[in-house]
């Protein structure tokens, strides 16, 4: 993001801190702007790109923002667990999470930190096993365009009455993918 655009975004965040409810930033805005987004008091819906390119990940802190209930993280590189973990820790009331990819560690942090999560949308769910049978037990909706086939096979090998709530949601998502591309 050009420096003038970044300065404009930072000024907007500072001036409109009490008024912003929805914020969509489709290019990486830097850690300074990201930290300011978490200080927006009434922000409910946040859509950001985390593709930080060549920018080094500094040691940074995100303020907890209980007003954010929906976040959409796009263009996320797979080696960004530091950023994602800090985001999850700062969103105790997150209900809806959308992202382009999810690894096992991301799933663990999301499940531990965001206890109110009801909807999870992941383009590529790159998880081969689930940590426990009560993982995402409050989840109502799970959608993915690509679920690891190994995970699907391990769930299918279980008896029907032994499958967890989340495993059933994963199978439903996999069935949807199959029907959509048949």
The per-residue pLDDT for range 91-140, each reduced to its tens digit, is: 999 999 999 989 898 899 999 999 999 999 999 999 999 988 889 999 99
Per-residue pLDDT of 44-86, as tens digits, reads 999 998 776 556 666 778 999 999 999 998 877 666 667 788 8
Instruction: Judge contact between 82 and 103, C-beta under 8 A.
Output: no
Confidence at residue 164, expressed as pLDDT on a 0 to 100 scale: 94
């Amino acid at each position: 993001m050009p420096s003038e655009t970044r300065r404009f975004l930072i000024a907007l965040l500072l001036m409109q801190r009490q008024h912003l409810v929805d914020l969509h930033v489709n290019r990486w805005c830097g850690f300074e702007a990201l930290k300011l987004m978490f200080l927006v008091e009434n922000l409910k819906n946040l859509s950001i790109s985390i593709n930080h390119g060549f920018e080094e990940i500094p040691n940074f802190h995100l303020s907890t923002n209980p007003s954010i209930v929906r976040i959409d993280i796009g263009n996320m590189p797979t080696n960004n667990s530091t950023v994602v973990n800090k985001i999850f820790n700062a969103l105790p009331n997150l209900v809806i999470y959308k992202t382009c990819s999810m690894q096992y560690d991301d799933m663990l942090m999301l499940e531990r930190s965001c206890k109110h999560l009801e909807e999870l949308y992941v383009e590529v769910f790159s998880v081969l096993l689930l940590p426990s049978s009560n993982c995402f037990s409050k989840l109502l909706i799970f959608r993915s365009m690509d679920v690891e086939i190994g995970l699907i096979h391990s769930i299918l090998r279980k008896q029907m009455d032994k499958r967890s709530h989340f495993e059933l949601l994963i199978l439903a998502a996999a069935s949807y993918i199959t029907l959509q591309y048949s």
